[in-house]
Amino acid sequence: MKILYTTDLHGNELLFQRCLEIARKEKPDVVLIGGDLAPKGPFGGITKNVQETIDTQRLFLEKLIHHFKIFNNTKIPLCCIMGNDDYRINEGILERAHQEGIIHYLHNKAFTINNYNIIGYPFVNITPFRLKDWEKYDNHGPRNPFILPLNRGFRTIESSDDATIKDDLQKLAIKKDMKKTIWLMHAPPFLTPLDMIHNHSHVGSKAIRAFIEEHQPLLTLHGHIHEAPQVSGEWKTTFETTTCINPGSNYMENQLRYVIITIDKTVSAELFVV
């Protein structure tokens, strides 16, 4: 199976168009887009600009679905998730596109192709930012006092869900053959080359790392930490039999970072920057 994967395009319409053009030429079995689809809002989601950002993101997502609808004529399935900078109040746009068969919106859902299950998981571990629509605690253990907790940020939709990332992943993994499973996760695993920020600190999800170590899925695809591959010098890593990839993002430089992945007994991948 051949996969085209990119992530964190943050509303850069040029890069989405470039991605779809490359897909038309490469003819992968599936295109995967790993979250943070819409234009990035004000840093930290400053309250007075929230509605403006919601409206901007809504209009962009509607335009994006139009591009995806045209791409749908290729018969190449396109799967995506939201990311922590995407305002969840606009999620219905993607859900409707899913129902109409334009995309496969994989929020806690699986899509099966060529006997492989692709499962989407958009939530990230807690960040210092104010928007908390797509943030959860890793587990029920002690909280980090140096980050902004869930009750100090804001959401664009109400949530009474107190499940952790660990809880969610264990539930999604039930009755899945991990050797035939690909996980599309916005957050990268903790303490790897894929979660390293500019000061060389690691900020990924401990629950996602523990899940990968325990279950050993075939392939996990990540994003969220744009600079990680350039800071660490690596865009993929392995946990025993699992290949983990974060191509990073150069959306502000109008550069598309994407990976072509081939699965044929083993997993091979090549990173491109265009």
Burial profile 210-245: b = 16 or more Cβ within 10 angstroms, e = fewer:
bbbeebebbbbbbbbbbebbebbeebbbebeebbbb
> Tokens at residue 236, please?
């993929």
> Tokens at residue 95, please?
């859900």
Architecture of domain 2-273: 4-Layer Sandwich (3.60)
Q: Look at residues 201, 161, 209, 163 and name the one whose alpha carbon lies nearest to residue 185.
A: 209
Q: Counting every residue, how long is the chain? A: 274
Query: For the segment 75-131, what is each residue's pLDDT rounded down to a tens digit?
Result: 999 999 999 999 999 999 999 999 999 999 999 899 999 999 999 999 999 999 889
Residue 230 backbone phi and psi in degrees, to 5: -80, -30
**Distance, CA of 2 to chain centre:** 19
pTM: 0.94
In the chain, where are the structural domains located?
A: 2-273
Q: Residue 146's pLDDT is what?
A: 64
Beta strand 181-185 with 135-136 is unpaired
Each residue's pLDDT expressed in tens, for the chain with a length of 274 residues: 999 999 999 999 999 999 999 999 999 999 999 999 999 865 444 445 788 899 999 999 999 999 999 999 999 999 999 999 999 999 999 999 999 999 999 998 999 999 999 999 999 999 998 899 999 999 987 767 667 777 788 999 988 788 999 999 999 998 789 999 999 999 999 999 999 999 999 999 999 999 999 999 999 999 999 999 999 999 999 999 999 999 999 999 999 999 999 999 899 999 999 9
Q: Look at residues 120, 46, 41 and name the one whose alpha carbon lies nearest to residue 80.
A: 120
Looking up tokens 């290949």 gives 243
Give yes or no for a contact between 29 and 3, defined as CB atoms under 8 angstroms apart. yes
Q: Residue 44's pLDDT is what?
A: 43
